[in-house]
Structure formats: structure tokens, C-alpha cells
Structure 1
Amino acid sequence: MKENGNLLFQDKWRIIDQSSTGLHVSALHSFGMDDTLCASVGSGSAPATVRTWVHDRTIVLGIQDTRLPHLKEALAFLERQGYRYIVRNSGGLAVVLDQDVLNISIVLPEREKGMDINSGYDVMWELIKNMFADFKETIEAKEIIGSYCPGSYDLSISGKKFAGISQRRIRNGVAVQIYLCVNGSGKKRGEVIQRFYAAGVAGEQTKFAYPVIQPEVMASLTELLGVELTVDQVMTRLLITLKNYAGFLFADQLQEDELPLFESYYERVTERNEKILQEFV
């Protein structure tokens, strides 16, 4: 089923939808899930998997964020705004999750031919472009200066970023993760991170160059496409698009042999998170 080396073409695509259940658990659950899927897909015991997830009012921090000179004050600011926070185990810097941000993880075996870092990013970019191919707007992949968690594969329309992509590679599996700002104000999300860094840096010189956030370069798909979109509608677009790339597409949950893996990985990411943050909370 793999045509022209396009990694989206798979004999089987397994879908694990946690876009509703994720609202009731910590975002650490999702990073434990993706590590689990990397292990099971990477070993060949599970097929290529797409997982969707949503967590409400959560700031996902990167490791560099934990080195802010005034992190305690920055975390206190987030708490006052009603946000929870975790430190993720993949790359990048602080991002905003809420009920209008859909996260998608594509999990593939690393043995896939040509599955280098850029190929991982390209497979997600390709998926998103196809999901919104009925709109005339062009979705570009390039760094958007002034955005939060900037990177060379920021997804944008007309210079405004609506999505960011990261990767996690363990146990011969690759999880390519994206957050899609579906609805709501991208500028307001940007302002939260802008104020987080203002509190965390507090005018000090730092070895690491934290991004200078320009909230106006962030937007949601609803704002950029001029059409009111919901997470459920984008989920439907995802499923319709994947059908074009799959010999067989099926909904699933963790299998019996994956459950102990999840318990182990979830415990690991939780302990790591607590260890990193314990001196600041």
C-alpha cells in the first residue's frame, strides 16, 4: 500500500481517539501513551497508529523552560491563570493546550525506509495539507519568528502559525506529534506564553535565548480559514483523509499486551516530571 515512498500509505492504520477522554486526565497520560505506542509499533506487535488527544488548560513545558532564572514565579503566574503544567519528554518549548487544541500523534516504526527526522515532519505536514485541501489557503512549513515553541516546521497560513510539530523516538518507534489550534484566539494563547517568559526571565541575561513572543503571529484555523471549526469536525477530516491512505482503517484502544507497557511508561514520565519540578512547587 505504500506508494511512491509516502509514509502515509499503510496497509493498516489504527486509530486511538482520546480527544474526549483526555479532558479528564493529565497531559502526562498522553506522553506515556505515545511512548507505549512507540514501543509496540516499533517492535512490530502493533500496526501504524494515529492517536488524537485533547487536554484542557495545560501548558506543556520543554526542558529549557525549566531553566528559566525565575521559574517559580513563572509557574505561579500560570496557576493564577488557571493552567496546569507539565514538562514533556520530547523536544521544544512551552505550548498551550486547551479544549480547542487538537493534538495528533502519528506513530510509525523507525525501520520505515527514509524515516529520518525531516521525513517524520513531512509526513505530518502532508497529512494536515490534505485534511484542509478544500480551502484555497496555502499551508506552509517554516519557522514563524515570534511564535511560541518556534521551529522550522511551524505550520502557518499567511505568516500566522496555527500548529507546531515535535518528534519522540524510542524503542524503534517514532511518534510525530502536532498541536492544531482549531478554534479560539491564537493571540490570547500567545499572550499567556509571552507573560510566562516575562515572569520567568524578568529582564535577566540568560545563556539560552528564550523566544520573544509576538502574540499577533499566532492564530487558530477558524481565524485563518474564516470558517467556524470544532475539534470534532477536524477529527472527521482526519478520518476521511486517512481512509485515502489506508488499506484498512480501524478504531482501537490499547491491547492487552500494551497495558503493562503503558503503566510502566506513564509511571516513568510522571516520576520524571515530579523530579524536575519538585524544587519549584
Structure 2
Amino acid sequence: MIKSILAQPEWRIIDQTTLGESFHALQSFAMDDTLCSSIGSEDSPPTVRAWVHPKTIVLGIQDSRLPNLTEGVQYLKEQGYEVIVRNSGGLAVVLDDGVLNLSLVLSEKEQKIDIDLGYEAMVYLTEELLKPYGLAFERKEISTSYCPGKYDLSIDGKKFAGISQRRLRGGIAVQIYLCVNGSGSERAELIRQFYERAKDGQETKFTYPSVDPNVMASLSELADTPIKVSDLMKGLLLFLKEQNSDLLSSHLSISEINQYDFYLKRVVERNKKALDR
């Protein structure tokens, strides 16, 4: 079943890994909502979207409820990071030029895809992408990482990736962030400092992670060899071709652009509301 999910007759490829500062992280969340809607109604084929954003901290809804959020956000901005709140679950993560994000966007109109199956499909894809580097990983929660979860991916206890899902209008976006290069521990230290300031020693109903920078690393660090985002992108396209899938590189259609404008406005409004406390 997992392999059949990845062996689609056609995959649309939307590569947004090289757009740089012209592409804001809020646009990414509007993109995936748009694709969920159009693919869920089968107006578009299954899509793989790849994206990179420079120096951005993406907070979760629970993070926006921290007692001293303003001071925490100010610290992140002083370190040169944009700060946004996403429109789905999870907690704070770091995005930068060394972090590759992938979204598999699928429809449930013809075939029901349960939550675990969606996650396992992304795990399998990651295994295939890392084979050339001889990297085998575990799937288990790393509780002292940032944004810990059941589908954390780690090697020797060091997390390099996390997986999430968003479901909307019959479409499913299975999303992963892969720390490809750079320092995993430096990214984790940034989030540790954020929580220290934003929580400010106060009791909270929600339990936020006690981030340990020593439990996070990039793939380049773990493989002890340089790995670039473009290397994984080449591996991704090769893998999809090997599934006998037709690959179609494209942007949003005219009808999708209209939906995108709607979702972007909603994402921007929610973000402003979450941060203006």
C-alpha cells in the first residue's frame, strides 16, 4: 500500500527550493492548502512540492499561547529570523537554507489514506532518499528535540527530521522537514533560548519541550560528508521516475491561483491574530 501511494501514474512537481527571500513562509502554508483543495477534488494530479525558506521560525498554535511570547519572539528577531505561526498543529521549528521541506499532496476521493499510512509513506520515501549515503534511521519520538513527535526521524538518538500532516477538503498534505546541512545543535539552541524567554519560568497548562541541543543534527553531520538540498532533490526526482511515474513540472493553474489568494489571506490574518496578543 505504501509503495502504491508513491507509484502514482503522474506526479506534478512544484520545486520552490531556489526562490530565496522572494518566497515567504506564509505563502507555503497557503500553497499546501490550495493544493489540498484542488487535488482533493481531483482537479489536479498528486503533487510533490519542495520548498526552502531563509531564516524563519515557524511556531505552532500552542507556542502562540506562551505567557511571555513577545519577549521570545523579540529574541528570535534579534537573531535575524522571521517569525510566523502556522495554521496547523505542532510546535516551533527552524527553517533556513539548509532545511529541505517536502509535501506529498494526495487525494482521498478514490482511496482512503489513514493517518499512519500517510506518515509511513513519507518515512519510506526518506529511506529511499538516504540510501546513497548509507544512512539508516529510527522512527521514534525524541522528546527533548524541538517539535517532538511519534514520527521523529533520528540516527544514534540525534533527530534530523520531523513529519506532520494537514487534511483539507478531501486532500492530504504529508509534510517533512529535513535538516540537510548546517548545525542541528545550533538550531536547537535557538529554540531552547526562545522557550526559556517565552515561558519565563511560569507554569503552563501545556507541556513545552525542554530542548537539548545535543539530540539534534543535520544529515551532513550524521553522514560526515557534505550533502546539499539539490542532492536530495535529484534523488527525489530519480526515485519518482523509477516508480514509472510521469513527472510534470508546473506552477499553479488559474483556478488554483484564485484559491491561493483566498487561503493566503486567511493564513496572513490568522498569523497576525496569533502574534498580536
One fold, TM greater than 0.5? yes
CA distance in 2: counterparts of 1:93 and 1:85, whole angstroms: 13
The 5 Å alignment of 1:55-94 reads 55-94=53-92
Give yes or no for the alignment of 1:26 onto 2:9. Answer: no
More deviation, 26-35/227-236: 227-236
Give the CA RMSD over aligned residues: 1.3
Note if contact 1:194-1:213 (Cα within 8 Å) is conserved in structure 2.
yes
Q: Supply the AA of the counterpart residue of 1:29.
A: Q
SS at match of 1:99: coil
Note if contact 1:13-1:246 (Cα within 8 Å) is conserved in structure 2.
no
CA distance in 2: counterparts of 1:98 and 1:239, whole angstroms: 22
Which of 50, 53, 58 does residue 51 from structure 2 map onto? 53
Note if contact 2:2-2:121 (Cα within 8 Å) is conserved in structure 1.
no
TM-score normalised by the chain length of structure 1:
0.95
Deviation at 1:5, TM superposition (A): 6.0
CA distance in 1: counterparts of 2:90 and 2:161, whole angstroms: 13
SS at match of 1:144: coil
Match of 1:237 in 2: 235
Which of 229, 254, 267 does residue 269 from structure 1 map onto? 267
SS at match of 1:258: helix
Q: Supply the AA of the counterpart residue of 1:171.
A: R
Deviation at 1:134, TM superposition (A): 2.5
Deviation at 1:79, TM superposition (A): 0.9
CA distance in 1: counterparts of 2:88 and 2:64, whole angstroms: 14
CA distance in 1: counterparts of 2:28 and 2:3, whole angstroms: 29
Structure 2: any 5+ residue segments left out of the alignment? none
CA distance in 2: counterparts of 1:129 and 1:42, whole angstroms: 27
Q: Supply the AA of the counterpart residue of 2:188.
A: G
Match of 1:187 in 2: 185
Deviation at 1:9, TM superposition (A): 1.1
The 5 Å alignment of 1:109-258 reads 109-111=107-109, 113-258=111-256
Q: Supply the AA of the counterpart residue of 1:123.
A: A
Deviation at 1:114, TM superposition (A): 4.5
CA distance in 2: counterparts of 1:103 and 1:44, whole angstroms: 24
Note if contact 1:62-1:94 (Cα within 8 Å) is conserved in structure 2.
yes
Note if contact 1:24-1:55 (Cα within 8 Å) is conserved in structure 2.
no
Structure 1: any 5+ residue segments left out of the alignment? none
CA distance in 2: counterparts of 1:90 and 1:241, whole angstroms: 29
CA distance in 2: counterparts of 1:255 and 1:276, whole angstroms: 30
Deviations 1:47-98 (A, max 9, x none): 0000010111100000000111110110111111111111111210000000
Which of 266, 275, 278 does residue 276 from structure 2 map onto? 278
Q: Supply the AA of the counterpart residue of 1:273.
A: N
Give yes or no for the alignment of 1:6 onto 2:19. Answer: no
SS at match of 1:10: coil
Deviations 1:92-143 (A, max 9, x none): 0000000110100000002353411111111111111011113333122110
More deviation, 96-105/240-249: 240-249
Match of 1:101 in 2: 99
Deviation at 1:6, TM superposition (A): 2.9
CA distance in 1: counterparts of 2:208 and 2:247, whole angstroms: 41
CA distance in 2: counterparts of 1:4 and 1:217, whole angstroms: 29
TM-score normalised by the chain length of structure 2:
0.97
The percentage of counterpart residues that share the same residue type is 53
Deviations 1:226-281 (A, max 9, x none): 110111111111111111224311211111221101111111101111111122xx
Q: Supply the AA of the counterpart residue of 2:157.
A: G
Q: Supply the AA of the counterpart residue of 1:250.
A: L
Q: Rate the CA distance shift 1:5–1:131 in 2: closer, same or farther, 3 A.
A: closer
Deviation at 1:158, TM superposition (A): 1.5
Structure 1 runs (4+) deviating above 4 angstroms are none
Q: Count residues in correspondence.
A: 277
SS at match of 1:45: coil
